Amino acid sequence: MLLAIDIGNTNIVLGVFDRELLTESWRLVTMRERTSDEIGILVTQLFERSDIDLASIDGIILSSVVPPLTRTMEEMCERFFEKRPLTVDPAGNTGMPVLYQPPSDVGADRVVNGIAAYEAFGRADGVPVIVVDFGTATTFDAISARGEYLGGVICPGIGISADALFQRAARLPRVDVRKPPEVIGRTTVTSMQSGLFFGYVSMVDGIVTRMREEMEGGDRAPCIATGGMADILAAETKAIQRVEPDLTLQGLRIIWDRNHG
């Protein structure tokens, strides 16, 4: 049994694997002020509700883009599970060559996603892969047909854009991000929703098209989406072929296997 933990800027995602099967997963709000004890109590309660014994966990793997919480989570694992987690180092222990400069600057989750997408959709066919992650930031990552992390694109997330529009324009209200009935909005709210929703759809199609043009064999590169808004936005794009909500957890499982045979 493997516990995989991904610490993101908005959510902490935890998943329990029984060999290759993801048997359970949970999301916690990322709060940098939480202590290892507080996180441990929450995780213990989640395990109890799912009838999973903490002692059944044989290993733990951790990726983080929130440095203040990395050591906190490691301490939680050591105290509540009595195990030292394998913490993902994008440039050191993933098994994927990173061509980003410097390699240590790339977010751990981006490499983890790239590994999962390449293993599932690129390696067997010998094709490159593009990953779009709709998280706090919207990221685009390019993986070569040889399984190398090439780099990518970082954009403000759709939630950040919605908040900025509300905060910087005095007469505009805060709106929920959703698909409006028409592109041409008939009210202020639907006009804003149209700009946010269809603006991001067009951005995804445009960036993925340009990435494919720059990548060797890019015309054959499948585009895989993950993250909170993936289901909603992917259906409207032309570029995205598949949505994989558990892509990061699957990537963590693969990295664990590479490091532990």
Burial of 72 from C-beta contacts in 10 A (0-12 / 13-18 / 19+): buried
**Mean pLDDT of the chain, nearest integer:** 93
Q: Specify the pLDDT at position 205.
A: 97
Residue among 129, 101, 124, 103 at smallest CA distance from 114: 129
Q: How far apart are CA 63 and CA 9, in angstroms?
A: 12
Which pLDDT score, from 0 to 100, does residue 81 have? 96
What was the pLDDT predicted at 164? 86
For residue 237, what pLDDT is reported?
A: 95
Place of tokens 């993933």: 94
Question: Which is the catalytic residue, given 6, 89, 105, 109?
Answer: 109
Give 168-194 pLDDT, tens digit per residue: 787 777 888 888 999 999 999 999 899
- Residue appearing with tokens 């995989």: 4
Q: Scanning the structure block, which residue is given the tokens 């005095």? A: 170
Q: Given this model, what pLDDT does residue 166 score?
A: 80
* pLDDT number for residue 156: 92
d(CA 252, CA 61): 7
Residue 261 clears pLDDT 80, i.e. is over it: no
Domains of the chain in sequence order:
2-87 (3.30.420.40), 103-252 (3.30.420.40)
The pLDDT score that the predictor gives to residue 183 is 94
Q: Which among 174, 200, 22, 6 is positioned nearest to 88, based on CA atoms?
A: 6
Please tell me the distance from the alpha carbon of residue 25 to that of residue 12, in angstroms, as a whole number.
11
pLDDT at 169: 80
Q: Within 13 Å of residue 15, how many CA atoms lie on the same side as its CB?
A: 23
Distance CA 212, CA 191 (A): 31
Dump pLDDT digits (tens) for 194-216: 999 999 999 999 999 999 999 99
pLDDT of residue 159: 86
- Verify whether residue 125 is a known catalytic residue: no
Predicted confidence band at 165 (pLDDT cuts at 50, 70, 90)?
confident
Q: Model confidence at 154, in pLDDT bands (50, 70, 90)?
A: very high
β partners of residue 33: none
Q: Residue 255: is its pLDDT beyond 90?
A: yes
pLDDT tens column, 12-54? 999 999 999 999 999 999 999 999 999 999 999 999 999 999 9
- Residue 55, pLDDT > 80, answer yes
**pLDDT for the residue 30:** 94
